[in-house]
């Protein structure tokens, strides 16, 4: 490598420093020529990068990647369909361009360069003293320029983003003019945006498929995507009459070619089994023409979000599909994200279900963990990280789970617009055992069902604790729990087997204790919080003067007051037992914070950009 050759030269005292320096730079130049030549030959096959997502709404930038767990690295392949004078690609906490970790390709109009950079709190770019985006190659192809680079999960460089197995906010920027240097790039003046993905996909083995595998495509039929930024499109379909019981064992997205950047996420729901006749519908979900019946189609069968692959059930389980008591009616919901307000785009996207009549050993089930949808759980305004916790108690799992327990294999986290983090932890005898699913960069705009890296076993008497962190800095009124988008939720839909009767295991603060809180606020503050029984809880919350005392007392009330437990069967009926005024589970031993593993450092890389021979870049 060029480092060691340089060092060997310097250890010879007979050379004059100037000669050494000129030899050193000649060697670097030779090395770079060799590098550029070597890069031309690197042409990985598409199958080497199984995950793929468009970064920008036009699909000019297409990111593919793969993950090596043994080496703890992510290999990226970025296709730039229309290279002007370079681009920025990187990661930041929530998709901001300040305090971001970036790989930058830029050109001064003659030469092109690649470097690892970071932006400070003002958005100014700096060369990173530790170059951790490692360039693997660049090649031209008819469709554009491929840039290949790699990055370790964790670099222990304080300027670098730590890649974890949760949501990652990827950012990109397109340079449309030549720039003198990296520092000269003004990131507020470029075309830019963000895309959310889960980079560290679980490395699961794909179960063998049975010979009688059948497929059903649930799609829209050549609709015209409305020319507005956000559309939720609803359409219905039905299974044939007398369709016997099958198991869904995998599903995957079907996306109309050319619309990859517009189809944001999709879900297939099963309707309530009670309809005798059903009105079919195909149109925007918020339209006045939508039949009310569609509001009773809430049982998720399949969900996909941008960047997700096919979803596989573990080989012991399948999702029941058809048969007695199963509704024949299904609803497809597609979220189109069309920020460029393109017109006249036709679409026939949807989800392809793979199912079999050879039933697997267990039916899979879905259970809701977290908080009950109720206004007694509230978040004061102006908070940057207010925490609410929902419990599935030992008493409920003791009563509802089979002696051999259940196995959780996938999870979908859910909040409304103020949610920033969601974590579910399994505890046993008051000691936290393991994380079921955690997203410390959670975004309400990116909710996918994620297969877990390892299946989590839950036994009778275990506790499942779901904690949500909210940001209400831009709100002036309290945010209460509820169904509307400006109210909040804290839910983890866990997918597990064997299916039990337990469909919902959630909690909320005891209403009597909340009433005491309102009394206390009344006694302590000048302004009156009306305590009259006819005033609703949301109205009481909205009349509270939100000083730090009232905020802190509410947070501590939620941390010690008894809870009302919802330990429910599918029919919304609770399991028999006493569920009101239950003590909060006490955790005596928490899990340690994960410590990032630092790779052996590759020696002091010079903080200099790598020149690339990409030919003359052009002005349009």
Beta bridge partners of 566: 506
| SS3 state at 45 | coil
Q: Is pLDDT larger for residue 312 or for residue 12?
A: 312
Q: Same domain, yes or no, for 342 and 386?
A: no
CB atoms within 10 A of CB 465: 22
What is the mean pLDDT of the segment spanning 515-540? 81
Phi and psi torsions of 538, nearest 5°: -55, -35
User: Which of 360, 378, 398 lies at the terminal end of a domain, its last residue?
Assistant: 360
Of 232, 281, 296, 513, catalytic: 232
Quick: pLDDT tens for 278-301. Answer: 889 999 998 888 888 888 787 888
Alpha carbons 117 and 126: distance in angstroms, whole number: 5
What is the mean pLDDT of the segment spanning 337-359? 93
Asked, for residue 37, whether it belongs to a domain, the answer is no
146 is an active site residue = no
Quick: pLDDT tens for 196-241. Answer: 999 999 888 888 899 999 999 999 999 999 999 889 999 999 999 8
CATH (domain of 350): 2.60.120.310
Question: 449: Cβ–Cβ under 8 A, 6 or more apart, which residues?
Answer: 300, 302, 303, 311, 410, 411, 412, 493, 495
| SS3 state at 438 | strand
Count of domains forming the chain: 3
**Percent of the chain predicted with pLDDT > 90:** 65
User: Which of 569, 594, 609 lies at the terminal end of a domain, its last residue?
Assistant: 569
Asked, for residue 128, whether it belongs to a domain, the answer is yes
Give the pLDDT of residue 3. 41
What is the mean pLDDT of the segment spanning 548-573? 91
Q: Same domain, yes or no, for 407 and 394?
A: yes
State the DSSP string of 202-224.
--PPPPPPPTT-EEEEEE--SEE
Alpha carbons 165 and 455: distance in angstroms, whole number: 15
Query: What average pLDDT does the structure give for the chain?
Result: 87
CATH (domain of 450): 2.60.120.230
Asked, for residue 32, whether it belongs to a domain, the answer is no
Show the domain range for 467.
365-569
Asked, for residue 590, whether it belongs to a domain, the answer is no
Q: Same domain, yes or no, for 109 and 126?
A: yes
Q: Same domain, yes or no, for 249 and 107?
A: no
Residue 43 pLDDT greater than 80, yes or no: no
Q: Same domain, yes or no, for 513 and 390?
A: yes
Quick: pLDDT tens for 323-337. Answer: 988 888 999 999 998
CB atoms within 10 A of CB 82: 11
Quick: pLDDT tens for 432-453. Answer: 999 999 999 999 888 888 999 9
Asked, for residue 330, whether it belongs to a domain, the answer is yes
Give the pLDDT of residue 445. 85
Q: Is pLDDT larger for residue 616 or for residue 337?
A: 337
Q: Same domain, yes or no, for 350 and 374?
A: no
By the 8 A CB rule, do 389 and 425 touch?
no
Give the pLDDT of residue 15. 44
Of 414, 445, 513, 515, catalytic: 414
Q: Same domain, yes or no, for 356 and 371?
A: no
Residue 12 pLDDT greater than 80, yes or no: no
Q: Is 572 exposed, middle or buried (0-12, 13-18, 19+ CB in 10 A)?
A: exposed
Q: Which of 12-16, 108-112, 411-415, 484-488 has the lowest mean pLDDT?
A: 12-16
Q: Same domain, yes or no, for 508 and 491?
A: yes
Cα–Cα–Cα angle for 334, 337, 341, rounded to 5 degrees? 125
Q: Same domain, yes or no, for 233 and 381?
A: no
Give the pLDDT of residue 24. 53
Asked, for residue 531, whether it belongs to a domain, the answer is yes
DSSP assignment letter at 210 = P
CATH (domain of 87): 2.60.40.1210
User: Which of 181, 201, 221 lies at the terminal end of a domain, its last residue?
Assistant: 201
Residue 581 pLDDT greater than 70, yes or no: yes
Q: Same domain, yes or no, for 355 and 369?
A: no
What are the structure tokens assigned to 264, written together?
């944001």
Residue 551 pLDDT greater than 90, yes or no: yes
Asked, for residue 442, whether it belongs to a domain, the answer is yes
Give the pLDDT of residue 569. 87
Residue 601 pLDDT greater than 80, yes or no: no
Q: Same domain, yes or no, for 512 and 551?
A: yes
**Percent of the chain predicted with pLDDT > 70:** 89
Q: Same domain, yes or no, for 245 and 144?
A: no
Asked, for residue 224, whether it belongs to a domain, the answer is yes
110 is an active site residue = no
């Amino acid at each position: 490598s060029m480092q060691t050759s340089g060092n060997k030269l310097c250890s010879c005292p007979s050379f004059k420093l100037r000669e050494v320096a000129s030899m050193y730079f000649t060697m670097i130049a030779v090395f770079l020529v060799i590098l550029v030549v070597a890069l031309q030959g690197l042409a990985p096959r598409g199958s080497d990068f199984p995950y793929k997502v468009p970064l920008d709404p036009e699909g000019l930038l297409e990111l593919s990647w793969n993950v090596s767990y043994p080496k703890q690295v992510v290999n990226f392949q970025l296709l730039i369909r229309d290279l002007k004078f370079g681009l920025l690609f990187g990661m930041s906490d929530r998709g901001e361009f300040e305090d971001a970790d970036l790989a930058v390709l830029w050109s001064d109009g003659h030469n092109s360069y690649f470097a690892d950079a970071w932006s400070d709190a003002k958005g100014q770019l700096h060369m990173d003293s530790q170059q951790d985006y490692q360039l693997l190659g660049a090649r031209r192809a008819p469709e554009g320029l491929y840039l290949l680079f790699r990055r370790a999960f964790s670099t222990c460089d304080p300027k670098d983003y730590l890649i974890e197995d949760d949501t990652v906010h990827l950012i990109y920027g397109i340079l449309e003019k030549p720039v003198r240097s990296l520092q000269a790039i003004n990131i507020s003046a470029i075309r830019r945006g963000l895309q959310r993905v889960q980079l560290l996909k679980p490395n699961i083995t794909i179960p063998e498929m049975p010979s009688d595998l059948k497929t059903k495509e649930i799609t829209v039929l050549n609709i015209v995507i409305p020319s507005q930024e956000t559309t939720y499109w609803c359409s219905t379909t039905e299974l044939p009459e007398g369709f016997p019981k099958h198991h869904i064992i995998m599903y995957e997205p079907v996306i109309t070619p050319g619309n990859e950047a517009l189809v944001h996420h999709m879900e297939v729901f099963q309707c309530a089994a009670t309809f005798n006749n059903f009105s079919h519908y195909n149109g925007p979900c918020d339209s006045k023409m939508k039949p009310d019946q569609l509001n009773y189609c809430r049982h998720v069968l399949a969900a996909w979000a941008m960047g997700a692959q096919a979803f596989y059930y573990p080989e012991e389980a399948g999702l029941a599909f058809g048969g007695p008591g199963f509704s024949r009616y299904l609803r497809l919901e597609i979220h189109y994200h069309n920020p460029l307000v393109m017109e006249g785009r036709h679409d026939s996207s949807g989800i392809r279900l793979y199912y079999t009549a050879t039933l697997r050993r267990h039916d899979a089930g879905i259970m809701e963990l977290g908080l009950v949808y109720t206004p007694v759980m509230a978040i004061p305004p102006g908070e940057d990280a207010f925490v609410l916790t929902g419990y599935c108690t030992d008493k409920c799992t003791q009563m509802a789970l089979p002696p051999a327990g259940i196995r959780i294999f996938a999870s979908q986290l859910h909040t409304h617009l103020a949610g920033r983090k969601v974590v579910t932890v399994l505890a046993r005898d008051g000691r936290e055992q393991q994380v079921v699913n955690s997203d410390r960069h959670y975004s309400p705009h990116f909710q996918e069902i994620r297969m877990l890296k390892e299946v989590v076993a839950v036994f009778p008497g275990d506790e499942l604790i779901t904690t949500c962190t909210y940001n209400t800095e831009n709100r002036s009124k309290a945010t209460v729990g509820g169904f509307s988008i400006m109210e909040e939720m804290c839910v983890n839909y866990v997918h597990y087997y064997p299916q039990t009767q337990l469909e919902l295991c959630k909690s909320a603060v005891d209403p009597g204790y909340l009433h005491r809180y309102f009394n206390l606020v009344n006694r302590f503050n000048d302004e009156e919080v009306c305590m009259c029984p006819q005033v609703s809880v949301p109205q009481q919350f909205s009349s509270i003067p939100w000083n730090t005392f009232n905020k802190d007392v509410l947070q501590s009330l939620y941390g010690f007051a008894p809870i009302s437990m919802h330990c429910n069967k599918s029919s919304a009926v609770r399991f028999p037992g006493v569920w009101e005024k239950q003590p909060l589970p006490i955790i005596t031993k928490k899990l340690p914070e994960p410590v990032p593993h630092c790779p052996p450092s590759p020696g002091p890389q010079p903080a200099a950009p790598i020149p690339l021979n990409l030919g003359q870049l052009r002005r349009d």
